[in-house]
Structure 1
Amino acid sequence: MAARFATKAEQSKPLLRLLKPYIPKIHSYLVLRHLSTEPINPLQKQNGDEEKFIAQVVQLLQPPENDWNFEKLRLLLFSDSTTPSPTRLFRIASRLDSSSKALKFLDYLQSNSPTPDKNSLSSTFQAVLVIASREPSSQSKLLELYKASRERGIALTINAASLLIRCFGRAGMVDELLLVYNELHPSSKNTPVRTLLIGELLRYGCVDDANNVLDEMLELNAEFPPNDVTGNVVFAKLLKRERPGRHVSDEEIVGLVFKFGKHGVFPGKIQLTQLISRLCRNGKTDRAWDVLDNVMKSGGLVEAASCNALLTGLGRKHDFKRINLLMAEMKERDIHPDVVTFGIVINYLCKSRRVDEALEVFEKMKGEGDNDRFSVERDVITYNTLIDGLCKVGRQEEGLQLMKRMRLENGCAPNTVTYNCLIDGFNKVGEIERARELFDEMKKEKVPPNVITLNTLVDGMCKHGRVSSAVEFFNEAQNDGLKANVFTYTNLISAFCNVNNINKAMQLFDQMLSDGCTTDAKAYCCLISGLCLAGRLDDASLVVSKLKEAGFCMDAISYNTLINGFCKKNKLEKAYGMLKEMEDEGVKPDVVTYNTLISYSSKTGNLKTAYKLLRKMISEGLVPTVFTHGALIHGFCLSGNINTAMKIFKDMSSSSKVPPNTVIYNILIDSLCKKNEVELALSLMDEMRIKGVKPDTTTYNAMFKGLREKNLLDKAFKFMDQMVEHACGPDYITMEILTEWLSAVGETDKLKKFTKGYEVSAATA
């Protein structure tokens, strides 16, 4: 016991030494307390003396170093043969007007202190760094001071190291901040220091260096584990879209979530939502589910926003089973769904045409009955989503009733989108008058229509052949101040091109340009297509020039339309010129381009060019289609070169992935019969039967012509029976051939049976 008291006495000596100068003052305070009506706080008195002491030392340090009164300084600082506390020295140094003077003061302490204390020197040096950090060219000064501390053997305090790491990080001095950290004593590398270092490393893309520090923190029994600040820093930096350094995969981030979770640290609400959105956006909905499930089960805070992000991803995948599971989990864990939650579910149910289920979810939003604890106010967006879903499945009347119900909801009135959905719905089923009535109601209810309203009605009228009504409505809307856009004009131009009223289409195009309407390439291409179909290629070329002047480029479809137009007008040179221009503009010709040119080259007997185009087509990586082969076969047949046509046919049958169709067989059979090679034509008919290619009326007509020349009645009767069997009706050419032939050979009864659908070959037998 005596030893214990002796120990306590020993321990109290420094405290008594510290209080010794104040004992008379404390005694005076006790006397004054008896005489005064106002109590005096001894701590206030002590603080006042402390402040006086610091002020005296600072005053002595104000002159240049050469003028310091070292005797007074020594008496003040070391009067009792001890060095002032680290806190005192830090406060003194912090009040000096420059880092250089503070450094001189540090040197003085290091050289003159009777009892050198490492903590005192470290605290004083910390003050030097604080002053230097506020001076111009602070980064270079701090670096020099850091080097000086190493030369003097002064250890950095945790705060000093943090200051250096932060300042070096701000200046992008990555090597230096790593040096500061690596030379710290292990006990000083605490969680805040490590967190600060990781944040600075990630800022400059040093992911691997940051991971090395983080791995130590994430060990199960780590001395300095991560905290919430660490988690926020790491996830905020890694989830940034624009971030320097190497790519960090989604799987790496997910792995960090699981590792942090073992230490009870989880991504914040914003970071968790960002991560789940990112995973779902990258098609990794399963991993997004794993992340949210892990955070929930590990006790992390999960809010509706994160669940909404996962619901969006599940909705894109049409995974309604897990949507229901997540909604049930939210309810069980008391995570309050918001209007966005229900809106997401309703939206994806409507997009999947599961409108009845969407209506059920809509009714549950009020939280009435059963054990539903949450009530969510339905908003305009929710109503509009459901109304649009009903209209998309042809239930416009229910959508209309829902709009009436919407008006009864507090603070929920139909808006422009509501009416647009309903107008579009009635348009799609051809009820243009109802759509127009809704537009009139819109104006009556003072709901402003927009350009989408205009386009929806114009498009509906045009698609249902009411082009005049569309123009009338368009003019009326323009007069009411509802401005059209490029889509409005494009719909009208396309409609007039389809009815071959090219002049009106041209007039609307000119009106669009004069109105200053922002155009796009589609409007030009639509008119170009219409002009080409009408054979007005000069006008089409003029519009092409305007398109280029407006800064747009032709697409493959427009070039193909022009090429086809020039081919039809037998202007093959211009068509080939278009192909060259197409290639020069960087627009890659497609199968349609080559097929068009090959077809017209073959028809005009320019088979050498057709073959050249075929080789070019294959060299471009395009696969010839049945149309390509058919065009060449037809061309050789027209030129009388049936042998080459048959060679192409055989190559096509043996090596091509595209088998011959009825059209190709018809071309060959017709050509062979005209050449009086009926036996070869009959072999092709057998081949068609074996390969399952169904003959049509044209096939039989060609065979009947060939058989008539050879007077092969039995074969003709068999083909007549085949036509009856396969319900292949004769046309006027069939009847003309058979009537003339069978009448001449006295077989009119067979013709009558054939026309009535009876078998004719058995009677002959």
Structure 2
Amino acid sequence: MLRRFSFAPMEGVSWWRNLSFSSMILTHLILLRSGRVKDALKVIDEMFESNEDSNCRPNDATGDILFSFLLKRERNGEIWSEDEIVNLVLKFGDHGVLISSFWMGRLITRLCRNRKTNRAWDLFTEMIKLGAVLESATCNSLLTGLAREGNFNRMNELMAKMVEMDIQPNVVTFGILINHMCKFRRVDDALEVLEKMSGGKESGGISVSVEPDVVIYNTLIDGLCKVGRQQEGLGLMERMRSQKGCAPDTITYNCLIDGFCKAGEIEKGKELFDEMNKEGVPPNVVTVNTLVGGMCRTGRVSSAVDFFVEAQRRGMKGDAVTYTALINAFCNVNNFEKAMELFNEMLKSGCSPDAIVYYTLISGFSQAGRMADASFVLAELKELGIRPDTVCYNTLIGGFCRTNKFHRVFEMLKEMEEAGLKPDTITYNTLIAYASKTGDLKFAQKVMRKMIKAGVVPTVATYGALINAYCLNGNVNEAMGIFKDMKAASKVPPNTVIYNILIDSLCKNNKVKSAVSLMEDMKIRGVTPNTTTYNAIFKGLRDEKDLEKVFEFMDRMIEHACNPDYITMEILTEWLSAVGEIERLKKFVAGCEVSGSSAQKASART
């Protein structure tokens, strides 16, 4: 009989109507398991077409068999699309057969994971209209999808629908709400949810009394710490202690220690570390890394080493993150001997270094100009089978440029090409900046053309390096041409630095009117001039002896709250004293916050 069902032709399906319901279900199951899904769906269509009083119409069991198959298996190597499954669910619903809450939850989860949350919402509301009996687990699946997208309006609407359906939210429901509120930095709303769930208050019409668990408390403490409210996090930890079966764990302490360390309160973080040891809460490598990282970021490198040594004495081991933080800290202060000592210790301890450790060393050596050491670490990296990425090559290219080893730069570029890596904006900017500093404008332009041809969009830094190169070479007209192209063709907005370069160069080349025009252009474009900008224009106007214009820019400088430096005061004091404008100079000084040394120089001359 099984063989007959498995290989039966489907041309005349009307004979299936003579089978009993159990035989139909068995046939349906065999067809599905043999991969004949279309034939199985034809059987279901036949079942739907049977008389309403027939015992062969599909029921919940039919739906469970079909949807368990479609949601767990593949069809001809391709997963059944969500839309196909949803259409079948609605078809069953139209015939009075409603998908079970379990399979409904699975389908909604799948829809949400594939970023089809709107489709999931429509299915959910449609099934409610059809009278489906749903459970909190199904609602939680949809709530997770909505929360992932930050759709808090629909989340509130869903909670209201749960009230209508008399579905009681559980600890998972509240956990989803609180977790995503904290992720979106809505910590006060999350705290309000905590009060509603634990205080027996009404939440959207539902009388709620759900005890928060450790996960919920930890989520809230982490959320508070991430917005700089560590003290409130400590208060929540005390509340945890007062609740039976909800003692703070390692994660609780890690969240608080991380919060205090990021706020620069290392001593408080260390105090919590000592407390957790005293309370019998075991610290882990995350705890160690948080404190080591915090100490290194605040310049307490020796303390970080001492703490790590003590942690090791207590039986705790570091990982790649621990060693990377320490190695990076020593590289930043050019203590490469200690950095390499830690690297070797890492190897001896059996802790496998990852690419980041090697990149940290390469970066440190490159910044210090120790390119032989950087090259050695690169060779070690390759020996381990780790492929350097574009960031690593950019670091090396920058180092070789700074040490004037341009032949090595070409070697790095060739290696990148052989590895299938393409230069990015930083690569091109580094090359253009180096060529500009060495006065090789022809090469700089060549790199720029290649950059554009490769589809890499030039940035303000790219144009800045090129404009500066032409200005340094006295070719201000070419620099202005690039500036105009930057604004028009490339649509890259110039910044204060670029305006400063051009204004200074124009003034030095006796083109003060053009420099003044650029100052006006800055005003129109909303680019704020700084002290360097004003110093450049003041020098130019002094050479032109244009007192009226200099007074205008002095007033503008006060209006923009741009404080002069000693260069500003030297330019203006010498000039205005010589032309008898002492009172105007005093008024200018009174309207600005001038540094002590500058003020003394000005008052001495006035």
Q: TM-score higher than 0.5 here? A: yes
How many angstroms apart in 2 are the aligned matches of 1:241 and 1:582?
43
Question: Is 2:454 the partner of 1:614?
Answer: no
Match of 2:112 in 1: 280
Matches within 5 A, 1:216-615: 216-218=46-48, 224-240=56-72, 242-365=74-197, 368=200, 375-615=209-449
| 1:225-277 deviations in Å (ceiling 9; x for gaps) | 32222211221122126553555332222221122123332333432221011
User: What is the TM-score normalised by the length of structure 1?
Assistant: 0.70
Query: Which structure has the greater CA radius of gyration?
Result: 1
What SS does the corresponding residue of 1:489 show, helix, strand or coil?
A: helix
| 1:476-530 deviations in Å (ceiling 9; x for gaps) | 1111111111111122222233344333222222221221113221121122222
Report the Cα offset of residue 651 of structure 1. Answer: 2.4
Report the Cα offset of residue 405 of structure 1. Answer: 3.5
Match of 2:15 in 1: 185
Q: Is the 8 A contact 1:191 1:227 kept in 2?
A: no
Q: Is the 8 A contact 2:496 2:528 kept in 1?
A: yes
Report the Cα offset of residue 282 of structure 1. Answer: 2.0
What SS does the corresponding residue of 1:412 show, helix, strand or coil?
A: coil
How many angstroms apart in 1 are the aligned matches of 2:543 and 2:432?
33
Report the Cα offset of residue 735 of structure 1. Answer: 3.1
How many angstroms apart in 1 are the aligned matches of 2:188 and 2:303?
36
Match of 1:668 in 2: 502
How many angstroms apart in 2 are the aligned matches of 1:667 and 1:425?
42
How many angstroms apart in 2 are the aligned matches of 1:294 and 1:184?
32
Backbone CA RMSD of aligned residues: 3.1
What SS does the corresponding residue of 2:9 show, helix, strand or coil?
A: helix
Describe the shift of the 1:389–1:669 C-alpha distance in structure 2 as closer, same or farther (beyond 3 A).
Answer: closer
Report the Cα offset of residue 283 of structure 1. Answer: 2.2
How many angstroms apart in 2 are the aligned matches of 1:395 and 1:695?
37
Q: Is the 8 A contact 1:218 1:226 kept in 2?
A: yes
Q: Is the 8 A contact 1:672 1:680 kept in 2?
A: yes
Question: Is 2:4 the partner of 1:164?
Answer: yes
| 1:264-316 deviations in Å (ceiling 9; x for gaps) | 32333432221011111122223323333343443434222212211211222
Percent identity of the aligned residues? Answer: 60
- How many residue pairs get aligned? The number is 588
Question: Is 2:565 the partner of 1:731?
Answer: yes
How many angstroms apart in 2 are the aligned matches of 1:246 and 1:722?
68
Task: Look up the equivalent residue of 2:437 and give its one-letter code.
Answer: K
Describe the shift of the 1:227–1:612 C-alpha distance in structure 2 as closer, same or farther (beyond 3 A).
Answer: same
Match of 2:491 in 1: 657
In terms of mean alpha carbon deviation, does 209-218 or 508-517 score higher?
209-218
Match of 1:138 in 2: none
Describe the shift of the 1:250–1:542 C-alpha distance in structure 2 as closer, same or farther (beyond 3 A).
Answer: same
Q: Is the 8 A contact 2:261 2:294 kept in 1?
A: yes
Task: Look up the equivalent residue of 1:730 and give its one-letter code.
Answer: P
Task: Look up the equivalent residue of 1:699 and give its one-letter code.
Answer: T
Task: Note the residue ranges of structure 1 that are not aligned, 5 or more in a row.
Answer: 1-159, 169-176, 759-765
Report the Cα offset of residue 373 of structure 1. Answer: 6.5
Report the Cα offset of residue 474 of structure 1. Answer: 0.8
What SS does the corresponding residue of 2:422 show, helix, strand or coil?
A: coil
Task: Look up the equivalent residue of 1:551 and give its one-letter code.
Answer: G
Task: Look up the equivalent residue of 1:286 and give its one-letter code.
Answer: N
Report the Cα offset of residue 743 of structure 1. Answer: 4.9
Describe the shift of the 1:305–1:747 C-alpha distance in structure 2 as closer, same or farther (beyond 3 A).
Answer: closer
| 1:667-688 deviations in Å (ceiling 9; x for gaps) | 2333333333444444444444
How many angstroms apart in 1 are the aligned matches of 2:250 and 2:390?
37
How many angstroms apart in 1 are the aligned matches of 2:548 and 2:248?
76
Report the Cα offset of residue 750 of structure 1. Answer: 4.7
Describe the shift of the 1:636–1:279 C-alpha distance in structure 2 as closer, same or farther (beyond 3 A).
Answer: same
Report the Cα offset of residue 189 of structure 1. Answer: 5.3
User: What is the TM-score normalised by the length of structure 2?
Assistant: 0.87
| 1:642-667 deviations in Å (ceiling 9; x for gaps) | 33223222322332211333333332
| 1:403-450 deviations in Å (ceiling 9; x for gaps) | 334334343333222222222233233332232222222222222211
How many angstroms apart in 2 are the aligned matches of 1:405 and 1:715?
67
Report the Cα offset of residue 563 of structure 1. Answer: 1.5
What SS does the corresponding residue of 2:72 show, helix, strand or coil?
A: coil
Task: Look up the equivalent residue of 1:438 and give its one-letter code.
Answer: L
Task: Look up the equivalent residue of 2:337 and give its one-letter code.
Answer: N
Report the Cα offset of residue 207 of structure 1. Answer: 4.8
Task: Look up the equivalent residue of 1:350 and give its one-letter code.
Answer: C
Describe the shift of the 1:358–1:656 C-alpha distance in structure 2 as closer, same or farther (beyond 3 A).
Answer: closer
Q: Is the 8 A contact 2:73 2:79 kept in 1?
A: no
Q: Is the 8 A contact 1:458 1:473 kept in 2?
A: yes
Task: Look up the equivalent residue of 1:539 and give its one-letter code.
Answer: D
How many angstroms apart in 1 are the aligned matches of 2:212 and 2:494?
60
Describe the shift of the 1:306–1:588 C-alpha distance in structure 2 as closer, same or farther (beyond 3 A).
Answer: same
What SS does the corresponding residue of 1:414 show, helix, strand or coil?
A: coil
Q: Is the 8 A contact 1:380 1:413 kept in 2?
A: yes
How many angstroms apart in 2 are the aligned matches of 1:191 and 1:245?
31
How many angstroms apart in 2 are the aligned matches of 1:688 and 1:386?
46
Report the Cα offset of residue 365 of structure 1. Answer: 4.2
In terms of mean alpha carbon deviation, does 394-403 or 569-578 score higher?
394-403
In terms of mean alpha carbon deviation, does 714-723 or 440-449 score higher?
714-723
Report the Cα offset of residue 381 of structure 1. Answer: 2.2
In terms of mean alpha carbon deviation, does 437-446 or 364-373 score higher?
364-373
Report the Cα offset of residue 568 of structure 1. Answer: 1.6
Report the Cα offset of residue 344 of structure 1. Answer: 1.9
How many angstroms apart in 2 are the aligned matches of 1:378 and 1:706?
70
What SS does the corresponding residue of 2:98 show, helix, strand or coil?
A: coil
Q: Is the 8 A contact 1:205 1:246 kept in 2?
A: no
Q: Is the 8 A contact 2:503 2:537 kept in 1?
A: yes
Report the Cα offset of residue 611 of structure 1. Answer: 1.3
Task: Note the residue ranges of structure 2 that are not aligned, 5 or more in a row.
Answer: 593-606
| 1:564-593 deviations in Å (ceiling 9; x for gaps) | 222122222222322232232222221111
Q: Is the 8 A contact 2:266 2:294 kept in 1?
A: yes
Describe the shift of the 1:278–1:568 C-alpha distance in structure 2 as closer, same or farther (beyond 3 A).
Answer: same
| 1:437-469 deviations in Å (ceiling 9; x for gaps) | 222222222222111111122222223332222
Match of 1:51 in 2: none
How many angstroms apart in 2 are the aligned matches of 1:320 and 1:680?
54
Q: Is the 8 A contact 1:681 1:703 kept in 2?
A: yes
What SS does the corresponding residue of 2:174 show, helix, strand or coil?
A: helix
Matches within 5 A, 1:45-194: 160=1, 162-165=2-5, 168=6, 177-179=7-9, 182=12, 185-188=15-18, 191-194=21-24
How many angstroms apart in 1 are the aligned matches of 2:182 and 2:283?
24
In terms of mean alpha carbon deviation, does 193-202 or 404-413 score higher?
193-202
How many angstroms apart in 2 are the aligned matches of 1:749 and 1:414?
69
In terms of mean alpha carbon deviation, does 648-657 or 181-190 score higher?
181-190
Q: Is the 8 A contact 2:185 2:223 kept in 1?
A: yes
In terms of mean alpha carbon deviation, does 638-647 or 218-227 score higher?
218-227
Task: Look up the equivalent residue of 2:18 and give its one-letter code.
Answer: S
